[in-house]
Amino acid sequence: MTVSIVPDSRLLRPLMLGMALVAALAACKKDASEADAARQAAASAMAVSTAPVLRREMPRGLTVSGPISPVEDMQLGVEVTGLRVTALNVDVGQTVRRGQVLLTLDHRTLDSDLAQANAALREAEAGAALARSNLARGQQLASGKYISAMQLDELRANRTASEARLGTARAARDAAALRRSFADLRAPADGLISKRLVQPGQVVAAGTPLMHLIKDSRLEWRAELPASQLALAKPGDIIRLTSPHGDAVEGRVRAVSPGVDATTRTGTLYADLPPGLIQSGTLQPGTYLEGRIETGVTQTLVVPFAAVVLRDGFATVFTVDAASIAHQQRVETAGRAGGFVEVTGLKDGIQVVVEGAGFLADGDRVRVVPASNTTASSKSGADAQP
């Protein structure tokens, strides 16, 4: 005989309520775990600040290196040979004036030659004066028929010959005086002695450089540019240099080569620098400096300096998506000014990480917070810069 047992509903109801309560408690525990995990993830995310990619005016320019050189480096020498230096009046680094005697050679022989030339000139002058007097008397006698026409012609010829001898003697005296002046080496212009290649007592030869003079103490900056860059520069462009001591120096392009060298494929740019740089010790000839040539202004995309970091040797920025995930993106940089750097490879308006960019990796979760006071102040100052 089969017996059927019908469960009493009054007994099942507490059991079902218990099971429902267990399921509810399990669900609440799961939700609490997920919330805790979300809070922990949010707490572990790196706090960063962001800034948008902006479009603004940036100065366009070229950055190249070149030497500091004298505008005119004058090589000074003498025009006589075989004389000894008896007086050396200047040294390297000394400022001189035009006409100042820089050195003196032994001029005793030249003085003797000049004295002889002066004596010969006085003798020729006396002979010429006598010939003129004789001709004057002869003309009076010829008018009274006391001498013949032939004798008068002879007097005229003597006067002409004596005046020619006087001219020769005067030219010889001038040549001797000129040679005597060569014994004193004088500064052809105001400037600065940059080299001294002679010592007292040294016997010198004509045409041998004895000193170098930087005319007017003026310096220039020269840069070799390829043809593609040479075409961008023009006279009047501003160049900015930084001296080895950290001083800022501003110059202006004076001239640009009209062509390029067939061998090096480069042309030369010449930029005038302010006067007084040598005397103040700011720059010295021969110093090799990097300079920036300002060639104009253009509209371009920029980001703050701090947003660009190096990853594997490449310029990189980090963008942040809607899920607060940082994504690494390579960019190309160009000019820098006013706290910003010009970039290509980004879109206008997207947010890039500024503070904290140097500590991120691709795929990191981030938490965007307002920029710190230091960053905000730096940005404000950068915006105020021209």
pLDDT, tens digit, 9 for 90 and up, residues 168-218: 999 999 999 999 999 999 999 999 999 999 999 999 999 999 999 999 999
pLDDT, tens digit, 9 for 90 and up, residues 215-250: 999 999 999 999 888 888 899 999 999 988 888 999
Q: What is the pLDDT of residue 342?
A: 86
Q: What is the pLDDT of residue 378?
A: 42
pLDDT, tens digit, 9 for 90 and up, residues 99-136: 999 999 999 999 999 999 999 999 999 999 999 999 99
Q: How many CA atoms lie within 13 A of 25 on its CB side?
A: 6
More confident residue, 64 or 26: 64
Mean pLDDT of the chain: 85
**What is the model's pTM?**
0.64
Per-residue pLDDT at 351 exceeds 80 = yes
Q: What is the pLDDT of residue 27?
A: 57
- Residue 329: which H helix or E strand, with range? strand 326-330
Q: What is the pLDDT of residue 66?
A: 94
Alpha-carbon distance values, 147 to 129, 152, 157, 160 (Å): 21, 7, 16, 19
Q: What is the pLDDT of residue 333?
A: 85
Per-residue pLDDT at 30 exceeds 60 = no
The phi and psi torsions of 237 (rounded to 5 degrees) equal -65, 145
Q: For the chain, list the domains and their CATH numbers.
A: 46-58+298-384 (2.40.420.20), 64-71+216-297 (2.40.30.170), 73-107+183-215 (2.40.50.100), 108-182 (1.10.287.470)
Largest CA distance in the chain: 202
Per-residue pLDDT at 355 exceeds 70 = yes
Give the DSSP per-residue string, 186-255.
E-SSSEEEEEE---TT-EE-TT---EEEEETT-EEEEEEEEHHHHTT--TT-EEEEE-TTS-EEEEEEEE
Residue 383: pLDDT band with limits 50, 70, 90: very low
| Average pLDDT of the segment spanning 2-20 | 56
